[in-house]
Amino acid sequence: EKGGYDYFMLKEIAEQPKAVADTLLGRIDPSGSLTLDEVRISPSELREVDKVVIVACGTAFHAGLIAKYAIEHWTRIPCEVELASEFRYRDPILDSRSLVIAISQSGETMDTLMALRHAREQGSKVLAICNTNGSTIPRESDAVLYTHAGPEVAVASTKCFLTQLVACYLVALYLGQVRGTKWGDEIQAVIKDLSRISEEVERVLETMEPVRALARTLASKDTVLFLGRHVGYPVALEGALKLKELAYMHAEGFAAGELKHGPIALIEEDVPVVVVVPSSRGRSVLHDKIVSNIQEIRARGARTIVIAEEGDEAVVPYADHLIRIPATPTLLQPLVATVPLQVFACELATARGNEVDQPRNLAKSVTVE
């Protein structure tokens, strides 16, 4: 049932192009507009929304962090993202005009369920993004957009993360479409790019051998740091989470702009630092800033592992290891940039002799608070 792979995680990483395509299937019509018929919140209700709040845990929370960039950019609706376990304990400000999005692979995560119950008690509408048909979270929500990743067996989430991102982009684009805000050429172009993105994910998967080889050389390290900015920041957090849970290594993700506010003190000789470089198209200011960050940490001895778009030559002189990903629009980059980090964590875990599909102390679905 592992389809010839040693671990479910490897199989699920390889299934990502299909999972992404399946999640898009039937949701973008030939004219380029979006139909999300499982969203049983009326367009007029969606036009009333004045705030979006995303609640989730772990990897799903990282998908939510990325969704915030897309939702605010495409719809101009303020969006907060909060760990479900923190949410209801701080008396959050919610009312009938708040749209709460609960993201959960299993649909059974107790923290997320309690957060959505709290939101509904305040009169907010809840939209679930979920991978498990008929599970508790979608049953208790006003609307659901299912991710079509298929069953995910490995404890560490991979293909579900990518499909959660796709679902978040669809929701953001749909909100933009319904409300008519910023619904212009950019959004049409993004929809086109999104419909081609599964091929790009496939291309990334075809080039992962050097990433595996690199991971094996780092098996005896204690720490790996991850840097990113803009949507690359949550990608860095996700890369670090995968490494913690699978390789049991100290791994931390930072916003690259925060380096000089503290984390740069951690840089010492030969510490591996993975840097997710923003797309050089569109947000070139951020791109240039991160190139200087790479220079700074390298000057202090870091071993730089740079994930950058094809054609980005500016990073070449400062990359001890260069991992290429296809060029995509800025907001979609996490769909391709996360894949090497999953492969990296999986290979490091294997090299350290860890059980990849069943990491110690973890459960696939966390049904207690």
Contact flag: residue 330 with ligand F6R (CB under 6 A): no
Beta-bridge partners for 251: 224
Site string for ligand F6R, 163-192 (x = CB under 6 A): ------------------------------
Contact flag: residue 136 with ligand F6R (CB under 6 A): no
Among 98, 109, 147, 333, binds ligand F6R (CB under 6 A): 109
Among 8, 21, 58, 225, binds ligand F6R (CB under 6 A): 58
CB 330 within 8 A of CB 283: yes
The active-site residue out of 51, 221, 244, 364 is: 364
Strands 321-325 and 303-309: parallel
Contact flag: residue 135 with ligand F6R (CB under 6 A): no
Going by C-alpha positions, the residue among 285, 262, 253, 233 that lies closest to residue 64 is 233
Contact flag: residue 342 with ligand F6R (CB under 6 A): no
Segment near ligand F6R (CB under 6 A), from 24-32, 52-60, 141-149, 305-313? 52-60
Among 112, 163, 280, 350, binds ligand F6R (CB under 6 A): 112
Among 16, 106, 333, 338, binds ligand F6R (CB under 6 A): 106
Contact flag: residue 359 with ligand F6R (CB under 6 A): no
User: For residues 168 and 154, what is the distance between their CA atoms, to the nearest angstrom?
Assistant: 22
Min CB(229)–ligand F6R separation in Å: 22
Is the Cα dihedral 161, 58, 264, 69 positive or negative?
positive
Contact flag: residue 104 with ligand F6R (CB under 6 A): yes
Neighbours of 368 (CB within 10 A): 7
Strands (E), 57-193: 79-83, 98-104, 125-130, 143-146
Q: How far, in Å, are 143, 159, 162, 187, 352 from residue 342 at the CA level?
A: 30, 10, 11, 29, 15
Min CB(299)–ligand F6R separation in Å: 34
Strands 223-228 and 250-255: parallel
CB 319 within 8 A of CB 290: no
Between residues 23 and 109, which has the closer beta carbon with respect to ligand F6R?
Answer: 109
Contact flag: residue 366 with ligand F6R (CB under 6 A): yes
Between residues 58 and 263, which has the closer beta carbon with respect to ligand F6R?
Answer: 58
Total residues in contact with ligand F6R, by rule CB under 6 A: 15
Cα 117 to its chain centre, rounded Å, is: 24
User: For residues 30 and 230, what is the distance between their CA atoms, to the nearest angstrom?
Assistant: 31
Segment near ligand F6R (CB under 6 A), from 98-106, 215-223, 292-300, 308-316? 98-106
Beta-bridge partners for 299: none
For residues 179, 184, 188, 190, the Cα torsion angle rounded to the nearest 10 degrees is -90
Between residues 106 and 279, which has the closer beta carbon with respect to ligand F6R?
Answer: 106
Between residues 176 and 340, which has the closer beta carbon with respect to ligand F6R?
Answer: 340
Confirm whether 260 is a catalytic residue.
no
Closest residue to ligand F6R, Cβ-based?
Answer: 58
Which conformational region is residue 174 in: left (phi greater than 0), alpha (psi within -120 to 50 degrees), or beta? alpha
Between residues 267 and 366, which has the closer beta carbon with respect to ligand F6R?
Answer: 366
H or E element: which one contains 275? strand 272-276
Segment near ligand F6R (CB under 6 A), from 56-64, 280-288, 291-299, 339-347? 56-64
- Residues within the interface to ligand F6R (CB under 6 A): 57-60, 104-106, 109, 112, 156-157, 241, 245, 365-366
Q: Which residues are catalytic?
A: 364
